[in-house]
Amino acid sequence: MKRIYIAGKITGLDRQEYIRRFLHAENMLIEKFEIVNPIFLERLNLDDSLHRDAIMEICKVLISTCDAIYMLSNWESSPGARMERDYAKSLGLEILYEQEDKYK
């Protein structure tokens, strides 16, 4: 089974909104893919002790273990998600995109 990493905007969004978006994507993909959902990193950084750059390095390691990346519809407004997409492209991963209208 292919592994897929979920990428999307987190910074600047309400916590409940981004958690809902990432978990919704996971539920949509779970039957076809083994999911790598970086939302669990939030639990590692509850006190904000990890610097954003450190978190992004962890995300790059996670991406490197995958076959594909799934871009949530808000990815373009997120510097972190754009970096994740660029990194996935550099590794030759398949890139899938969520439809914008799912959250309207």
- Residue boundaries of the structural domains of the chain: 3-103
Q: pTM of the entire structure?
A: 0.89
Whole-number pLDDT of residue 90: 98
Whether 104 shows a pLDDT value over 50: the answer reads no
Residues with Cβ within 8 Å of 73's Cβ and at least 6 positions away in sequence, in order, are 8, 97, 98, 99, 100, 102, 103
User: Where is average pLDDT lowest: 2-6, 11-15, 94-98?
Assistant: 11-15
pLDDT over 80 (residue 47): no
We find that the CATH architecture of domain 3-103 is 3-Layer(aba) Sandwich (3.40)
